[in-house]
Structure 1
């Protein structure tokens, strides 16, 4: 590759590699071959050990089984050891040799981490006295010394691997545990002793070795390793080439290809910065070539790369942390996160399209011109639909399919899908102009989705048939053989077309490659991704086991793809197996080195989590936000979003989510309940997660913006501001799904879910058009305002309906029992009660009580586990039974009922779509008239 600095104003290839290395894998590369080999061997051993503990083999042979308490110290020991060897202490520190001091720090730091494992083994009996687990909360002096040194080593490793932000935040929280008595006002707390802090943070499972590090050990490593192996096999280049071949010919095509390529890379990547540099090296110069400025081309890449972190199934590894923190299944996390992520990406493609229309940009020419109908059928809709499928859309439709009771109805559903597909195909098999292309894209996406659903159903029936006929013992072997057979068939197809070569992004591109051979060149890369998603979403295997089988398949592919390609092409086999083995080893090493920063980050974030659990600082933040918002829910959410942005600055995605969710998620839940807003926990966690990752975009710290500016040669601050403007749709979504949880597919039927997706997509496109100032033509200010208003109405029609017809009738507390007896079964009553918080201050909370049984008011009260004490007009809760509906809703002894809210008969909120669509039609008519007038003037002149 040539030096990009001369062509794009950016960095050279070596400088870009150093940028990624310094943020992800470590910037040190020793000249001494023995030391370099040793570092690689340690990383290789780490990967092999992680695969071993995730596999079912230790349990089958009953040897080498590690519990979570044993595995976490080993995991952190590897990470700290490699962090001190791979990351230089300072910018001017040697990069081609490892100083003696770093060797000492690496050994001491890893031994401190391993102490938790060693101190609980048989080795300590008689040496250190009793085992560590036999004296919980009672550390001896040696324990405290090890914990203190270990925390210092971890903080230094954090500074090296991740920069100062996370280290500084962790030090501030550590300082708060000691200086609590000296803190001013409501920040004050009683403080903790040195030994208590050391024990809580290092020796227990509440701090460093808590849930976050456990998720990194059991889940995150395998998914990062899977991505590294997939990239080493060539999938990263394949995704980029496919995106360009399908979309490069469209208006602003390289920018649209950048969005889709970054989305596909984000499926397997846990780093926004690596995503920016990996895809941006190719996409940014091409975007500049078709007319985008340096800042806008960098901003498009930043917005699409950061969005990759919210894309299921991996979500920058945060999905697996949500499973632990929210206590719901992985399938539920993906289901809830799916629609916001998809519509955000669709809106970003639309932003690029509008930018291209504004400047009348053209796409890149094709090497071989295809028929217009083919271009329409093989363009952006295919790629977007592929992302939709990979993200879980097929499996959500699959849930609808499973609800059909009879085989006849299932068969009928498949036939309807086939008929729909044929109708769509013949409907769009004609020349499609630029103005009609959106229709072609939507139809194409529907066709591909129909195909995918039919294939998914077919595979499901086949696996079900095999399981039924072969039994649980033989079925896995038969299914495995089918997967291998499918892989061999796919490789035979891929071998018929040339390999995809990594292009020089700065070399002139005279024509785009043909889509068909480009797509066929890497079909086998889709198989492990399909296996991973199938195991997670259909078989509902644990994420650890699903990732293990995907990694196992990737290992098999890396070892065999070279020999198989040579066999089908009738080429020499010499060196092919060795080449595959070397690529496998390189992939295992790359996966481990990619995990250094994540392992360190989750451990350091554990210090913050430990501080929250030890000091109760979360209540302090709740008081601060409540004071600033003065009880206004929208202000409360805005301040929480700002705090999430501040706390997320400079942190990788995983650590980012741990910090913001630990500190701010409880704030929204508690303050929301006090102010009448009952928000599901998953919605709260997605809210803080979205704004946490927005810190990668937002100046002045937005690391992804700096990385993109380094590639484009643009100004990093301006790039960050443009990227933030492009990301407004991502920033607005969390506010919307807090108030309208249907966007997260909460309490909706499958059919309602499809409708929500269609309406939400249309609303997001209108919001995008409003903020970009361009729709059918350039918008006037009042038209942009109307478009945003229409989009808001489609997103949350209930806002206006609640103003027209109140959703609840207010009853006096003394009428509670009577009202409870009159409401319909299945409805929900809201109680506003006065009580006290954990420290005795008076608070008002809103409790939701579902009415699930028939009967009188007294019988329903008993079913809710609620006993009341009525004194005239005053009603006090005398008892809320243990683990009852009322106790789980937040009700407790001695609370006073202030108001009773009974559901009122309210028209369907969807009726407000009608005036919104009429307004939309008015805007379209006005803009088309303006377009026609402008065209007439041009023709007259």
Structure 2
């Protein structure tokens, strides 16, 4: 399942009920695809179908309680599901009248409908996201109503109950507001594309390419996880979804080749987090940023290019140093695909054509919806073509070298003539089945994300209506005072806290509503400021105490939370530094004089690389605390563009390396505990 959280309590239906619900889910997903191609409905109508369908499937697919499941389905869930369709259908039918007025058009009915929809939404959020999100929504609603009773700057004039019901149900800043519109027109389409790519075998192709590119290096299985997760993460835009999809391949592979459970889980979690900041796609969050800023997506991708490359350079170096530290070897030769296996023509075409189509339409300045629509169409066309004209390879068991070799259409394994003649039709039937499965998985993903977006929409609406964003601006400005760094640190902490437990698009949306105004008031440019918030919205997935990406990884690796989180924060140290660098120095977003940009990028790369060295604490052997501190401080200073900072940074790094090389620790070139792969893995 390609959602932001692994779900273990979904209902499964069989027989006629299974086909009916599956058909309705696929039809609902087809609505998003078709409207992306032929034209979206008016905003309220498009959003009403999106949210109404999501709520309908929440009550059918998610059990409210494990007790009396069949009775609950008949007496509670089916009526609630149908009620959601009626409540959102009312908005759909009365769209014209609603947009022409600023108040109820049938007050008594619409108040009842609004309260009922709010209660049903809370129950849907409880079933999908848990009580935490219900508590957050209710807390914001209490704040909106009891505003006059809050002390100091948190106080406001308050919203009447009638006003809250109207805004929630029918207002442009309510449940069908801007965030829900982006969910219905952008986020849903990317989830559909990601689900279809998974069922088409793109994940397997990514892993093969990653094994070919990074498998021969020290810690090759970790390199595979980083490269493969970067590929998939930039498409699905969800750390947890990426861990769930690629982690089932990469984590067992790392474990088999000597990685400790905690280190294996952390590598996958950090790499999946970084995939969302990696151009050219960056997941749906980047398109959300472009929509909110009113700029082209390519401007966002251009600004994120250097920071994302810096992050993955630091991560690959960190994995390599961990492998050196614990004596972890490269992939066995029998596990590394041949060039023909890794870059098989049909597999590469099946993968690259949809992505190329997506980028082509984006570069030609078409709408994002149309770009994703034609990308999906090209992917379906490639799947059908592959089924008719190409015999797919057998699956590779990446976790078992003895079963690693894959048969790519070898002559000795061609089936008899009769079977061969029928094979294309059999494979076409298989493609139809896998497409159906992909669309159904996409429906489950869209349902889950729509609930998160709905929760975020309510919170953002309260923030806008009560002026809470202005209040936070005043707090940040007053606390930071004349110390810009202090204000940025406070903004970082708030962005991470607001994003905990949310997928990146929703975390960024809430952070942008609350924290972008103070950053702009401090004088920062709009794009670097929003990119600053986007990076920390991504980082919230691996930041304790919630750290949803860490929990998803340990569900596969079997490691401990604290151990995995410790390694994750070590490997992701650059992710917490880079936003400060590019918001203070726009040259790192490729804005400015080319010479200044080049110097800033080169020095920042060197600084980030040595920051990884200091974080891992291994270079020519184990580093002392003093040498790590010197190298780390020098790396941070050098990462800040400027001649003086470069000179100071190089001097301090050199002092740290000298202390390491010629001090007592420099004489120990190989750790005793890392003498063998087994012993090294245990020391983790």
User: Which residue in the other structure is 1:133 paired with?
Assistant: 99
Matched residue, 2:675? none
**Matched residue, 2:390:** 565
Identify the match of residue 654 of structure 1 among 481, 493, 505.
505
Give the structure with higher Rg (CA): 1
Give 1:578 shift: 2.1
1:690-732 Cα deviation digits (max 9, x unpaired): 2223222122211211121121111123322331232221111
Paired residues of 1:273 and 1:704 also in contact (CA < 8 A): yes
Please state whether the residue corresponding to 1:361 is helix, strand or coil. Answer: coil
SS in 2 for 1:136: coil
Matched with 1:191 is 158
Structure having the larger proportion of residues in helix: 2
Deviates more, 1:555-564 or 1:919-928: 919-928
- 1:754 deviates by 5.0
Aligned to 2:610: 766
Matches within 5 A, 1:871-890: none
Q: Aligned in 2, Cα 1:915/1:687: closer, same or farther, shift over 3 Å?
A: closer
* 1:248 CA displacement: 2.5
1:700–1:717 Cα contact (<8 Å) kept: no
Which residue pairs with 1:669 in the alignment? 520
Deviations 1:509-552 (A, max 9, x none): xx43334422226211122112212322x323221111111111
Q: CA RMSD in A?
A: 2.8
CA contact (8 A) 2:180 2:457 kept: yes
Aligned match of 1:517: 341
Shift of 1:574: 3.5
Tell me, yes or no, if structure 1 residue 640 matches structure 2 residue 465: no
The 8 Å contact of residues 316 and 653 in structure 1, kept in 2 or not, is answered as no
The residue that corresponds to 1:725 in the other structure is 570
Give the whole-Å Cα distance in 2 for the aligned partners of 1:662 and 1:93: 42
Higher strand share: 1
Deviations 1:374-423 (A, max 9, x none): xxxxxxxxxxxxxxxxxxxxxxxxxxxxxxxxxxxxxxxxxxxxxxxxxx
Matched, 1:737 2:589: no
What per-residue deviation string (whole Å, max 9, x for no partner) do you get for residues 851-905 of structure 1? Answer: xxxxxxxxxxxxxxxxxxxxxxxxxxxxxxxxxxxxxxxxxxxxxxxxxxxxxxx
Tell me which moved more, 605-614 or 307-316.
Answer: 307-316
1:545 corresponding residue in structure 2: 370
Distance 1:30 1:365, change over 3 A: closer
**TM-aligned CA deviation for residue 285 of structure 1:** 2.5
Preserved CA contact (<8 Å) 1:25 1:597? no
**What's the offset of the Cα at 1:81?**
0.8
The equivalences for 1:868-907 within 5 A come to: none
Query: Whose relative contact order is higher, 1 or 2, with alpha carbons under 8 Å and at least 6 apart?
Result: 2
- In 2, Cα distance between equivalents of 1:145 and 1:512: 63
User: CA 1:212–1:776 in structure 2 vs 1: closer, same or farther (change >3 Å)?
Assistant: same
Number of the residue aligned with 2:559: 714
Residues 771 and 788, structure 1, Cα contact 8 Å, conserved in 2 = yes
CA distance in 2 between partners of 1:32 and 1:692 (Å) = 39
Deviations 1:238-280 (A, max 9, x none): 1123212332332111111111111111022132112112222
1:88 corresponds to: 63
How far apart, CA to CA, are the structure 1 residues paired with 2:668 and 2:285? 50
Q: Please, which runs of 5 or more residues in structure 2 have no aligned partner?
A: 393-408, 673-684
1:573-603 C-alpha deviation (Å, 9 max, x unpaired): 3323222222222222222221111222222
Matched, 1:779 2:598: no
Q: Choose 699-708 or 619-628, whichever is displaced more.
A: 619-628
| Structure 2 CA distance for partners of 1:753 and 1:87, relative to 1, 3 Å | farther
Corresponding residue number in structure 2 for 1:535: 361
Equivalence for 1:51: 33
Equivalent position of 1:101 in the other structure:
76
SS at match of 1:310: coil
CA pair 97-108 structure 1, distance change in 2 beyond 3 A: closer
- The match for 2:530 is 685
Alignment partner of 1:207 out of 174, 183, 187: 174
Aligned residue in 2 for 1:39: 21
Structure 1 position 594 matched with structure 2 position 419: no
Residue of structure 2 in register with 1:864 after alignment: none
Change in 2 beyond 3 A, CA 1:90/1:720: farther
Match of residue 286 from structure 2: 319
1:254 matched residue in structure 2: 221
1:110 is aligned to 85
- Aligned equivalents of 2:174 and 2:191: distance in 1? 23
Q: Work out the CA distance in 2 between the residues paired with 1:519 and 1:69.
A: 45
Contact 1:699 1:720 in 2 (8 A): yes
Distance 2:330 2:280 in 1: 31
Q: In structure 2, do the counterparts of structure 1 residues 747 and 115 end up closer, same or farther at CA, with 3 Å as the change threshold? A: farther
Q: TM-score, normalised by structure 2?
A: 0.87
Pick from 216, 229, 242 the counterpart of residue 183 of structure 2. 216
For residues 592 and 89 of structure 2, what CA distance do their matches in structure 1 show?
45
Post-superposition Cα deviations, 1:823-871, rounded to whole Å, max 9, x if no partner, equal xxxxxxxxxxxxxxxxxxxxxxxxxxxxxxxxxxxxxxxxxxxxxxxxx
Q: How far is the alpha carbon of 1:922 from its aligned partner?
A: 5.8
CA deviation after TM superposition for structure 1 residue 790, in Å: 3.2
Given the alignment, which residue of 79, 86, 89 partners 2:54?
79
2:379 & 2:428 partners in 1: Cα distance?
15
Deviation at 1:653, TM superposition (A): 1.9
- How far is the alpha carbon of 1:134 from its aligned partner? 3.0
Select 1:578's aligned residue among 413, 429, 433.
429
Match of 1:703 in 2: 548
- Give unmatched runs, 5+ long, in structure 1: 1-16, 59-64, 122-130, 368-510, 673-677, 798-908
Deviation for aligned residue 1:22:
9.1
Q: Which residue of 1 aligns with 2:94?
A: 119
Indicate the SS of the match to 2:236.
coil
Q: Secondary structure at the match of 1:36?
A: helix
Return the alpha-carbon distance in structure 2 between the equivalents of residues 324 and 176 of structure 1.
Answer: 28
Deviations 1:108-163 (A, max 9, x none): 12322232211226xxxxxxxxx223322345222222122112222221222222
Q: Does the residue aligned with 2:5 lie in a helix, a strand or coil?
A: helix
Q: How far apart, CA to CA, are the structure 1 residues paired with 2:68 and 2:540? A: 29
8 Å CA contact retained: 1:697, 1:703: yes
Q: Deviations over 1:222-248 (max 9, x none)?
A: 211111111111111111232123323
Q: Is the 8 A contact 1:245 1:513 kept in 2?
A: yes
| CA distance in 2: counterparts of 1:227 and 1:188, whole angstroms | 44
1:210 to partner: Cα distance: 1.4
Q: Note if 1:286 corresponds to 2:253.
A: yes
Question: What is the distance in 2 between the residues matched to 1:689 and 1:93?
Answer: 43
The CA distance in 1 between the partners of 2:666 and 2:455, in whole Å, is: 61
Distance 2:428 2:72 in 1: 33
Question: Which residues in structure 2 correspond to 1:401-420 (within 5 Å)?
Answer: none
Structure 2 distance, partners of 1:760, 1:557, is 41
Closer, same or farther in 2 for the Cα pair 1:314/1:721, shift >3 Å?
same
Offset of 1:663 from its aligned partner?
A: 1.3
CA distance in 2, matches of 1:31, 1:327: 43
Q: Deviations over 1:590-648 (max 9, x none)?
A: 22221111222222211112112211111222233344445432222222222222221
Paired residue secondary structure (2:172): coil
Moved more, 95-104 or 135-144: 95-104
* Cα distance change on mapping 1:625 and 1:263 into 2, 3 Å: same
- The 2-side partners of 1:616 and 1:919 are apart by 46
CA distance, structure 2, for counterparts of residue 933 and residue 768 of structure 1: 21
> Is the CA contact (8 Å cut-off) linking 1:776 and 1:924 kept in structure 2?
no
State how far apart, in whole Å, the 2-side matches of 1:741 and 1:94 are. Answer: 56
State how far apart, in whole Å, the 2-side matches of 1:312 and 1:43 are: 31
Q: Give 1:79 shift.
A: 1.0
Instruction: Tell me: CA distance 1:737–1:93, structure 2 relative to 1, closer, same or farther (3 Å).
Output: farther
